Structure 1
C-alpha cells in the first residue's frame, strides 16, 4: 500500500541566522542525531475507489545518524543516516492527529498496511533491510543550508537535495526541512489494487525534524 522511504539531513550553526558565526572560532562539531523523520504517502484522488482509501504517514523508528559541521567551511559537512526498514511505524494515531488527519486506522489495519509496505514489490524489507543517506555537499542558501546527498532505498541510490532550516552551536543542533521523492525513482511502483481502482500517488513527501547531541 505504501511506498515509502525514509530519511535525510543537514547542518549549520548561527546566532541570528542558521549559518552564522556563533561558534565560528571553534573546530568542526559532530552531533549524534535523533528526532522525527517521516514520509507522507498520498492516495490517488482520481481513482474509482478513492473514497475507500486514505493518506498514510510512515515514521522512521530506531534510526541512527551523525552530522559533522564546520561553520568556517560549510562544504566540508558530513551527514550519515541509517533507517531500519522493518522498524518503520505506520499510521500511528498520535502522529496522524498532530498532522491534522481525522481518520485513524485500527491496529489490525495498520499491520496489514505495514505487511504490504514491506512486501517484495514495495520496499522488499527482507532483501533491503536498510534505507541510507550520505551527504555529498552542503552550501549556504540565504538563511538556510542546501544539503545534497545520496539516498538509497530498496537498493537504488539517487542524488537528492533538501533545503534545511538549521540552528546549531557547540551543544545543540536542529534541522528541519522537507523533500518530494518518487517511488519509481527507487525501483518500485506506487501501491495499486483492484486493477487500479485504488492506488497511491507516485510522489511522496519526506519530512525531517531532527536534533543532535554533541559527541
Structure 2
C-alpha cells in the first residue's frame, strides 16, 4: 500500500476508471463477456477495524452492453433482467473479512430481479495513491460467481447435446478506482 494512513475514509467509485463486468458460457463452447455502463458505489473503509467497513452499490440493469444490440435487447427483456420492472440491481455488504491491506472477502446481499441472496466477493486492494489532480484514490478488484437461476433468471434454450444455450454460472468481475471524499 502506497500510503496506508489515507486508507480509511469514504470513497465514491470513479465510474470513468472502473468497470463492472461479467462472463457467461454460451452454447457450452465459448464465453460471452459484457459490462454495465451505469453504476454507483460507495465504500466506507476502516483500516484499523476492517470489520466496520461497508459498501453499497447500484447497477442500472438497462446499461448492459455485450457489444451486440440484439443480444442486449434480449438480456434487457423479461427472459433475463426485465429492466422495465427491475431497473436496478444492488449490493449491500454485511461483513468484511479483509486484512489491514484490504485483501480478503466481502460478503453481502445481492439483489437481482427482486430476489436477494448472499454472495461473497474475493477482494484484492492495490493501494492508495494521490493522483496529479489531488484526489486520493483506492484501487481494488473484486470477483465472485453466481448462479443466475438463483435470482430468477431462468431462461433456457436447450441444445441437442443436452446442454443449454446460456450457462447458469455467471462470473462477476469488478475493477474499481474509488476517490476519497474531501
TM-score of the superposed pair, with normalisation by structure 1: 0.71
- Kindly indicate whether residue 94 of structure 2 is the aligned counterpart of residue 136 of structure 1: yes
Structure 2 counterpart of 1:37, from 3, 16, 20: 20
Report the equivalent of 1:202: 168
Aligned residues: 170
Change (3 A) 1:142 1:127: same
Structure 2 counterpart of 1:113, from 67, 71, 83: 71
Cα RMSD (Å):
2.4
Report the equivalent of 1:125: 83
Change (3 A) 1:28 1:169: same
Bigger proportion of residues as strand:
2
CA distance in 1 between partners of 2:4 and 2:54 (Å): 19
Task: Give the C-alpha shift of residue 64 in structure 1.
Answer: 0.9
Task: Give the C-alpha shift of residue 147 in structure 1.
Answer: 0.6
Uncovered stretches (5+) of structure 2, i.e. residues with no partner: 130-135
**3-state SS, counterpart of residue 4 of structure 2:** coil
More RCO (CA 8 Å, sep 6+):
1
CA distance in 2 between partners of 1:148 and 1:175 (Å): 16
Structure 2 counterpart of 1:160, from 101, 111, 119: 119
CA distance in 1 between partners of 2:4 and 2:8 (Å): 13
Maintained 8 Å contact 1:122/1:191: no
Change (3 A) 1:190 1:202: farther
Uncovered stretches (5+) of structure 1, i.e. residues with no partner: 1-13, 16-20, 92-109
Task: Give the C-alpha shift of residue 192 in structure 1.
Answer: 1.6
Report the equivalent of 2:132: none
Structure 1 outlier segments of 4+, above 2 Å: 140-143, 167-170, 193-198
